[in-house]
Amino acid sequence: MTQDMIVEGGQVPSGKVKVSGAKNSATRLLAASLLTDEPVRLRNFPTQLVDVVEKLRFIRELGAQVTLDDDQEWVEVRTPSLSYRNIDDWELPIRTTYLLTAGQIVRNGTARIPYPGGCKIGARGYDLHIMVWKDLGCEVNEAENYIEINGSFTGGSINFPISTVGGTENALLCASVAKGVTEIRNAYVTPEVEDLITMLGQMGAQIENYGNSLIRVRGMDGLMHGASFEVMPDRIEALTWIVFAAMTGGDVFIQGVPFDHMKVPLLHLEEAGLDLYRNSDSVFVSGDSVRQRGIQPFELACGTHPGVISDMQSFYVLLGMKANGISRTFDYRYPERIAYARELAKFSPDAVRYEPGKITTHGIATLRGADVTSTDLRGSMALVLAAFCADGQSHIKDVHMAMRGYNGLLAKLNTLGINATLIQPD
């Protein structure tokens, strides 16, 4: 459902906020739950994310039995059978539809999935997923409304031409229920992929991970065990709240920060002058400290984990608008991920300059309320934060994109004393 947001600027956050389970882990684990007949319970699960709600709707239509608890943040999935024959609507506005293939193939020998949707941040086709299915012995037909995959998975060798998170996840799911051994080369093992590997292991898969580029899977032709698994905290959400507090000078205590997966991103923040007071799993950002030291200009390049990943880019750009000087953020992995910068510049036209692969910010910028349009998930959230930092009222169109990655967003803002209004567009 399309939604806009109205924000009154100048609001300063104060209080505690808890980081939810990671979107980029939860939606993958949900797909893995379809590989077994046994129940799978996922804890610390972001039950209200738009991507989660859409995927749950679809797997219910496939025949999965789903129980949700919003208050306790868990979901349980039982999959006695799966069939696409009851599906009438093949529109699914999420990127990871390809992950719904393995559960159908292992039961029926045929899978139908919607074409991948999601954010438009440059060329991101699905050719690598077709390669996975074909390399493991299946036939692929691209119909008008869906992709159909036929056959059974047999172990083989998958050699990705580029490192790919989505391709690695798809290959892991398919190889786990294939007959024989599969080697996945040029894999991309992020913390969220590690989450997936760990849960697949609980379910009976035999997976050996050799560094960040080679994975060997001994397929089980169907996984025998269920699982009870806790989704890792969302490292991008944690960064979001830290940057928000720093930009506004708020006093914010952020619970559930996955420090082990954020060493380099947090190092960049500290080098920009932020004092981050930590305990074992939380960070306190002090408004007084930020005001006294200021935010120092910086340069950084987005890349692969354990560095600053592309999904974090917009928050460093936003931070640069409040830094005392010129900051530069480079992204050569997704050089076209700059559409949001055009919208961000509407808050302060002289503060943001952008070109493919490079965004330059001139601080300290004065932000003024603006009418802006969301372009992608993380860019949309950057626009929301900019609106709170601006003078006057802002209108963020298509803010539902941010809802795809921030569980219970309005409620969390309210706990920080921040208010915003969702409206339906005309």
Cα within 13 Å of Cα(373), Cβ side: 5
* Helices within 296-376 (DSSP H only): 313-320, 339-344
pLDDT single digits (tens) 79-106 = 988 999 989 889 888 888 999 999 999 9
Cα within 13 Å of Cα(346), Cβ side: 18
Band (pLDDT 50/70/90 cuts) for residue 240 is very high
Among 12-21, 288-297, 311-320, 336-345, the range scoring the smallest mean pLDDT is: 288-297
Band (pLDDT 50/70/90 cuts) for residue 196 is very high
Give the residue-averaged pLDDT of 250-277. 96
pLDDT single digits (tens) 325-346 = 999 999 988 899 999 999 999 9
pLDDT at position 425 is 87
Angle between helices 23-32 and 165-176 (to 10 degrees): 20
Asked whether residue 122 carries a pLDDT value surpassing 70, the answer given is no
The fold for domain 23-230 equals UDP-n-acetylglucosamine1-carboxyvinyl-transferase; Chain (3.65.10)
Asked whether residue 426 carries a pLDDT value surpassing 50, the answer given is yes
pLDDT at position 221 is 67
pLDDT single digits (tens) 384-395 = 999 999 999 999
* Helices within 5-163 (DSSP H only): 23-32, 50-62, 101-108, 127-135
- The answer to whether 119 is a known catalytic residue is yes
d(CA 213, CA 184): 8
Domain with CATH 3.65.10.10 in the chain: 4-20+233-423, 23-230
Contacts of 351 (CB under 8 A, 6+ apart): 321, 345, 361, 362, 363, 365, 367
pTM of the model: 0.93
Cα within 13 Å of Cα(85), Cβ side: 5
Contacts of 270 (CB under 8 A, 6+ apart): 276
pLDDT single digits (tens) 144-165 = 889 999 999 999 999 999 989 9
d(CA 190, CA 305): 6
pLDDT single digits (tens) 296-306 = 999 999 999 99
pLDDT at position 359 is 98
Q: Can you point out the beta strands (E) in 129-171? A: 139-142, 146-150, 157-164
CATH superfamily of 4-20+233-423: Enolpyruvate transferase domain (3.65.10.10)
37's enclosing H/E stretch is: none
Look-up: residue for tokens 């795809």?
A: 404
pLDDT > 70 fraction of the chain, expressed in percent and rounded: 98
Give the residue-averaged pLDDT of 235-244. 98
Q: What angle do CA 177, 182, 187 make, to 5 degrees?
A: 105
pLDDT at position 123 is 42
Give Cα 276 distance to the centre of its chain: 24
Give the residue-averaged pLDDT of 370-397. 96
User: Over the chain, what is the mean pLDDT?
Assistant: 93
Band (pLDDT 50/70/90 cuts) for residue 118 is very low
**Contact of 120 with 97, CB cutoff 8 Å:** no
pLDDT at position 309 is 96
380's enclosing H/E stretch is: helix 377-389
Q: What angle do CA 312, 198, 71 make, to 5 degrees?
A: 70
